[in-house]
Amino acid sequence: MKQIEKLLDFRPEIKAFDVTMRDGGLVNNFGFTDEFVKDLYQTNIKAGVDYMEFGYKASKEMFNPEEFGKWKFSDDEHIRAIVGDNDTDLKIAVMADVGRCDYKKDILNRSDSPIDMIRVATYIHQIPAAIDMIEDAHRKGYETTCNIMAISTAQENDWKAALEMIGKSSVDVIYIVDSYGSLFPEQIARICDLYGEFAAKYNKQIGMHAHNNQQLAFANTVEAVGDGVNYLDATYGGLGRGAGNCAMELLLSFLKNPKYNLYPALQFIEKHITKLKAEGLLWGFDIPYMLTGVMNQHPRSAIAFTNEKKTDYTGFYNMISGRD
Amino acid sequence: MKQIEKLLDFRPEIKAFDVTMRDGGLVNNFGFTDEFVKDLYQTNIKAGVDYMEFGYKASKEMFNPEEFGKWKFSDDEHIRAIVGDNDTDLKIAVMADVGRCDYKKDILNRSDSPIDMIRVATYIHQIPAAIDMIEDAHRKGYETTCNIMAISTAQENDWKAALEMIGKSSVDVIYIVDSYGSLFPEQIARICDLYGEFAAKYNKQIGMHAHNNQQLAFANTVEAVGDGVNYLDATYGGLGRGAGNCAMELLLSFLKNPKYNLYPALQFIEKHITKLKAEGLLWGFDIPYMLTGVMNQHPRSAIAFTNEKKTDYTGFYNMISGRD
**pLDDT tens digits, residue range A111-168?**
999 999 999 999 999 999 999 999 999 999 999 999 999 888 988 899 999 999 999 9
**Does residue B182 surpass a pLDDT of 60?**
yes
Question: Is the CB of residue B282 less than 8 Å away from at least one CB of chain A?
Answer: no
Helix (H, G, I), strand (E, B) or coil at B110: helix
Q: Given this model, what pLDDT does residue B6 score? A: 62
Q: At residue A6, does pLDDT exceed 70?
A: no
CB pairs under 8 A between A and B: 104
d(CA B262, CA B249): 7
CB A267 to CB B215 under 8 A? no
Looking at residue A9, its pLDDT comes to 83
Q: Is the pLDDT of residue B2 over 70?
A: no
Measured between beta carbons, the chain B residues lying within 8 angstroms of A270 are 287, 311-314
Rounded to a whole number, what is the distance in Å from the CA of A92 to chain B's nearest CA? 27
Q: How many C-alpha atoms does B170 have within 13 Å on its Cβ side?
A: 15
Are A250 and B312 within 8 A, CB to CB? Answer: no
pLDDT score, position B264 = 98
Question: How many residues comprise chain B?
Answer: 324
pLDDT level of residue A323 (50, 70, 90 thresholds): low
**What is the structure's pLDDT at A237?**
98
- How far apart are the C-alpha atoms of A139 and A110, rounded to whole Å? 9
Please report the pLDDT score of residue B248 as a whole number: 98
Q: In the prediction, which pLDDT does A166 show? A: 98
CB contact under 8 A, A290 and B250: yes
Give the whole-angstrom CA distance, residue B293 versus residue A250. Answer: 10
A185: nearest CB among B1, B217, B249:
B1
Best mutation target, B215, B249, B269, to test chain A (most A CBs within 10 A): B215
pTM attached to this predicted model: 0.96
Across the interface, do B269 and A313 touch by the CB < 8 Å criterion?
A: yes
Identify which of B1, B187, B313 has the shortest CB distance to residue A266: B313
pLDDT digits (tens, 9 = 90+) for B63-114: 999 999 999 999 999 999 999 999 999 999 999 999 999 999 999 999 999 9
Write out pLDDT tens, residues A234-260.
Answer: 999 999 999 999 999 999 999 999 999
Mean pLDDT, residues B161-166? 97
B218-234: average pLDDT? 96
Please tell me the predicted confidence (pLDDT) of residue A4: 54
Q: What is the ipTM of this complex?
A: 0.94
With pLDDT > 90 as the criterion, what percentage of chain A qualifies? 94
Which residues are CB-contacts of A243 (< 8 A; sequence separation ≥ 6)?
A181, A211, A212, A213, A217, A283, A284, A285, A286, A289, A290, A293, A299
Question: In this complex, is the C-beta atom of A319 within 8 Å of any C-beta atom belonging to chain B?
Answer: no
Asked if B269's CB is within 8 angstroms of A1's CB, the reply is no
Over residues B117-134, mean pLDDT: 97
A-chain CB neighbours of B1 within 8 Å are 1, 185-186, 189
Which ranges constitute the DSSP H helices of B107-233?
127-139, 156-168, 185-202, 217-226
Q: Angle B34-47/B20-28 helices, nearest 10 degrees? A: 150
Q: Is the pLDDT of residue A293 over 80?
A: yes
Q: How far apart are CA B168 and CA B151, in angstroms?
A: 20
Mean pLDDT of A19-35: 97
Tell me which of A314, A316, A320 to substitute to probe the interface with B (most B C-beta atoms closer than 10 Å): A314
